[in-house]
Structure 1
Amino acid sequence: MSHRTQRTLLVTGASGQLGRRVVELLLAAGEDTIVAASRTPEKLADLAARGAAVRKADFDDSASLDAAFAGVERVLLVSTDALDVPGRRLAQHERAVAAAVRAGVQHVVYTSLTNPGPEWPIAMAGDHGGTEAALANSGLSYTILRNNLYTDFLLQAAAQAVASGQLVNAAGAGAVGYVTREDCARAAAAALASATSGPAVLDVTGPELVTQAQLAAILAQLSERPVAHVNVTPAQLHAGMAGHGVPAALAEVLVGFDRAIAQGTLAVASDAVERLTGRRPAGVAEFLRAHRAALVGA
């Protein structure tokens, strides 16, 4: 990520884990003017102290977005977490795209999801597909980063699998191009800080596809304990989660991800991270090895 001519770059969702990390990377790279935007700007005092400008950006308030995007050349639109009301997140994203058009933003980078089409078994994937359509119809230059599943999300299930000897899910023989949050942040920072224009759609993934059986083998090797993949039906998985107190709505989402894996929706691996950043992304075994103490300590 090289230093470019002077311009203003804005990152939404800067109080979240991904957005915050992108701002940190941009500041470390010496970019000229970085705007960290959030609906809770009071949480960004540390980024302001490091040189970021802070603005409020409430995706439910068009006037707030207009003010946030004023004078900005390139925007990273981090997908929101508004999943409480069906359709709310897509409406938020459409509001942000419209505000970018009004503000004269030159380029939008959007964090999407792998294969966000109708084949997804959970409704929230449609928010990403709808946002991609809004960008395509906006007249804006854009880069869509279709982030695969975070490797980071494996840690809890991996620790449980090491402790019990069983990696239980309903993912079948499906494979995933798992990618770390850090590599997603590096890719997003590089795409935002570049001088490229779009439209462009990139699959942001780890370096290889990994099945659940392969994941179990990695855990067994790292922990030096037997770990086997146990495939169950989606109904069995949902019932098991309910028995452990997982809220029904969350269980539905988690089971939906397993369904997506089983049907091959997430079996995508690319070299986009390396092309954007110049550095190969971390593989699953590499990431879990770095967290081995947490796995074995379980």
Structure 2
Amino acid sequence: MSKTLLVTGASGQLGRGIINHLLDTLKVPAARIIATTRTPANLADLAARGVVVRAADFDDTASLEAAFKGADRVLIISTGEIDLLHGKRLRQHENAVAAAKATGVGHLLYTSMPNPEPVSPVLFANDHHGTEQAIKASGIAYTIFRNGWYQENLFMALPQAIASGHWYTSARDGRIAHGARDDMAAAIAAGLAAVSDESKTYTLTGPHAYTTAEIAALASEVIGKPLDVVQISDEALTEGVKAAGIPEDFARIVVSFDANTRAGRIAMVTDAVETLSGRKPKTLKQFLEANKAALTG
């Protein structure tokens, strides 16, 4: 029997990418796909293609239960409600797991992060670790996708660095294998559409891990302009990010990414994207070349 696949956060970039791959790459019939969001009107285009669109509020378990009804495999895309003091996002995810349990969902899938254990320097890592633990405790078969850093995340720092000629970082010689968001979406879509109910955890990365200096050298080659990397302390970097107009809590999160990189906790390279999706992942140089105009303003 064909299973019904549900994607939460379907109006976000990752959610839309996953649904597009379900429809266009994997040819899953639209009637077998449920897309949920707090604002269903934002998914009118998917509804027009035959996708079932439902409202779902992660702060309301009853809303989630209504949205999950009849779904066989449910993908929980982590919400954007990062709350360092009150743990709002973890509570939202726990609500979703409880709703899946209550409605008889057969397989839960979740977008996590690499190495989310409590010792992680990343300030919101416990949201992911706690969610993974809640999923495992539910007794529902699961697939956890530990998404590495997106190549698109480089838009947060690289354009400003290119403009000034100086990239301030505290990552030292730590490495990251940035992956394309669409490559990860393709891999997750394939995992969601799979027939296996075996519980698995995948770490999704790009094809090669680079230091900040190596990324800067690649960027310099592509744009034809020198880019110097300046290593500073976490404290100095935090002050610099705040001076750029970023609120303190988010500045601390940004700097925690560099601390995580410096600790070697995101240096892994896996073949999970290609194994799941059957396609070669985009290289960092390809990303830089494709986005040269956006990176140079």
Q: Normalising by structure 2, what TM-score?
A: 0.95
Distance 2:165 2:82 in 1: 34
**Is 1:137 aligned with 2:137?**
yes
Deviations 1:212-261 (A, max 9, x none): 01001101100111112111111111111222221111101101111111
More displaced 10-residue stretch of structure 1: 79-88 or 210-219:
79-88
Task: Name the amino acid aligned to 1:229.
Answer: V
Q: In the alignment, which residue of structure 2 is the partner of 1:31? A: 28
**Is 1:42 aligned with 2:41?**
yes
Q: In the alignment, which residue of structure 2 is the partner of 1:60? A: 59
2:69–2:103 contact (8 Å) kept in structure 1:
yes
Q: 1:122: how far off?
A: 3.4
Distance 2:64 2:242 in 1: 39
Task: Name the amino acid aligned to 1:200.
Answer: K
1:27–1:52 contact (8 Å) kept in structure 2:
no
Q: 1:123: how far off?
A: 3.1
Give the match's secondary structure for 2:157: helix
2:75–2:192 contact (8 Å) kept in structure 1:
yes
Task: Name the amino acid aligned to 2:185.
Answer: A
Task: Name the amino acid aligned to 1:231.
Answer: Q
Q: Flag the 1:283–1:119 CA change in 2: closer, same or farther, 3 A.
A: farther
Task: Name the amino acid aligned to 2:62.
Answer: A
Q: 1:156: how far off?
A: 4.1
1:177–1:210 contact (8 Å) kept in structure 2:
yes
1:27–1:51 contact (8 Å) kept in structure 2:
no
Task: Name the amino acid aligned to 1:6.
Answer: S
Give the match's secondary structure for 1:245: coil
Q: 1:6: how far off?
A: 2.0
1:187–1:276 contact (8 Å) kept in structure 2:
yes
2:109–2:145 contact (8 Å) kept in structure 1:
yes
Q: In the alignment, which residue of structure 2 is the partner of 1:22? A: 18
Distance 1:104 1:268 in 2: 35
Give the match's secondary structure for 2:215: helix
Q: In the alignment, which residue of structure 2 is the partner of 1:277? A: 277
Q: 1:295: how far off?
A: 2.5
Deviations 1:180-202 (A, max 9, x none): 11111111111101112231111
What is the RMSD computed on CA atoms of the aligned residues?
1.3
More displaced 10-residue stretch of structure 1: 94-103 or 80-89:
80-89
Q: In the alignment, which residue of structure 2 is the partner of 1:231? A: 231
Q: 1:293: how far off?
A: 2.0
Q: 5+ residue gaps in structure 2?
A: none
Q: In the alignment, which residue of structure 2 is the partner of 1:13? A: 9
Distance 2:233 2:282 in 1: 31
Percent identical = 46
1:118-267 equivalences in 2 (<5 Å): 118-267=118-267
Q: 1:19: how far off?
A: 0.7
2:123–2:256 contact (8 Å) kept in structure 1:
no
2:206–2:270 contact (8 Å) kept in structure 1:
yes
Distance 2:125 2:86 in 1: 11
Deviations 1:27-67 (A, max 9, x none): 22321311000111121111101111001111111111111
2:171–2:231 contact (8 Å) kept in structure 1:
yes
Distance 1:223 1:123 in 2: 33
2:222–2:289 contact (8 Å) kept in structure 1:
yes
Give the match's secondary structure for 2:253: helix
Q: Flag the 1:197–1:37 CA change in 2: closer, same or farther, 3 A.
A: same
2:116–2:129 contact (8 Å) kept in structure 1:
yes
Deviations 1:252-273 (A, max 9, x none): 1101111111111111110000
Q: Which runs of structure 1 show a deviation greater than 4 angstroms over 4 or more consecutive aligned residues?
A: none
Distance 1:82 1:57 in 2: 15
Distance 2:72 2:87 in 1: 28
Give the match's secondary structure for 2:239: helix
More displaced 10-residue stretch of structure 1: 253-262 or 82-91:
82-91
Distance 1:86 1:196 in 2: 36
